[in-house]
């Protein structure tokens, strides 16, 4: 089975570029499930129901998010009605929406998709390691699910790498999001979990993590400035992961970088 995942969509041009390439990406990589992190899709701040629907209508299976999930207030109602839009599972009890969802393929294979947020340099949430252990208490990879995919949303590379090694072999893939910068460490860990510390954003890299350079630089000098999205030529960043249907462990992972100012990956 193959999972295609794209990192944080930042702004309108990234949205439109990704939506215009969905068919191309599906044809090229032949994923069984297509997951996108949507947390910055609405002008860099969260996602609206209208935007989420555009992605679902384009046959994206699951939308994951992160710390920006509540930036657009209409999303509070929508997330409670929409199983396939998820927010970090370790947000405190009582938070609207769910942190996980499952997809059943035509062949009966079930895939569990989980969104989690790390703790270092992030807003306060439950301890991410314990939250994941709790989720895994009653489920087993290869028995209850043919694949378990985690979008691990967080700032610190050390924390994400520790998390991935701690849960190596218990899930199919752990892919980092949030920093908007892709790391060059995509690999399958020794016990079969595919991992990349950060997949990078889908956005304009001629920017400061997707925001206009001048404004973002000014913020380091002055408190008065604000940020807006650097629209323009987009690099689509993601990964394609191949998983053994019987064991749920990963066989391969390849980063995808298409368009814009980043060097393309060979797979393109």
Q: Which residues bind Fe ion (CB under 5 A)?
A: 8, 39-40, 66-67, 178
User: Least Å distance between CB 160 and Fe ion?
Assistant: 13
Nearer to Fe ion, 1 or 202 (CB): 202
Nearer to Fe ion, 91 or 141 (CB): 91
List, by residue number, the catalytic residues.
68
Nearer to Fe ion, 7 or 192 (CB): 7
User: Least Å distance between CB 154 and Fe ion?
Assistant: 8
Can you give the three-state secondary structure of the chain, one letter per residue? CEEEEECCEEHHHHHHHHHHHHHHHHHHHCCCEEEEECCECCCCCCCCHHHHHHHHHCCCCEEECCCCCCCCCCHHHHHHHCCCECCCCCCCCCCCCCCEEEEECCCCCEEEEEEEECCCCCCCCCCHHHHHHHHHCCCCECCCECEEEEEEECCCHHHHHHHHHHCECCECEEEEECCCCCCCCCEECCCCCEEECCCCCEECCCCECCECHHHHHHCCCCCCCCCCECCCCCEEEEEEEEECCCCCCEEEEEEEEECCCCCCCCCC
User: Least Å distance between CB 223 and Fe ion?
Assistant: 22
């Amino acid at each position: 089975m193959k999972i295609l995942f794209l990192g944080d969509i930042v702004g309108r041009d990234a949205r439109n570029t990704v939506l215009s390439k969905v068919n191309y990406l599906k044809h090229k990589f032949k994923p069984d499930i297509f997951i996108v992190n949507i947390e910055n899709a609405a002008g860099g701040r969260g996602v609206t129901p209208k935007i989420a629907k555009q992605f679902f209508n384009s046959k994206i299976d699951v939308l994951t998010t992160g710390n920006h999930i509540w930036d657009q207030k209409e999303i509070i109602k929508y997330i409670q009605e929409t199983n396939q839009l998820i927010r970090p599972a370790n947000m405190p009890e009582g938070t609207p929406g769910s942190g996980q969802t499952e997809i059943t393929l035509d062949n009966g294979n079930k895939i569990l998709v989980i969104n989690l947020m790390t703790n270092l340099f992030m807003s306060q949430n439950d301890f991410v390691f314990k939250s994941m252990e709790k989720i895994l208490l009653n489920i087993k990879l290869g028995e209850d699910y043919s694949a378990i995919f985690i979008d691990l949303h967080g700032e610190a590379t050390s924390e994400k790498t520790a998390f991935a090694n701690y849960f190596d072999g218990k899930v199919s893939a752990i892919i980092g999001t949030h920093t908007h910068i892709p790391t060059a460490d995509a690999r399958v860990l020794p016990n079969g979990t595919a991992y990349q510390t950060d997949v990078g954003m889908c956005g304009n890299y001629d920017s400061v993590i997707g925001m206009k350079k001048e404004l973002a630089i000014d913020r380091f000098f002055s408190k008065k400035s604000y940020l807006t999205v650097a629209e323009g030529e987009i690099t689509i960043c993601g990964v394609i992961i191949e998983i053994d249907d019987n064991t749920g462990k990963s066989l391969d992972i390849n980063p995808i970088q298409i368009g814009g100012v980043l060097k393309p990956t060979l797979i393109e």
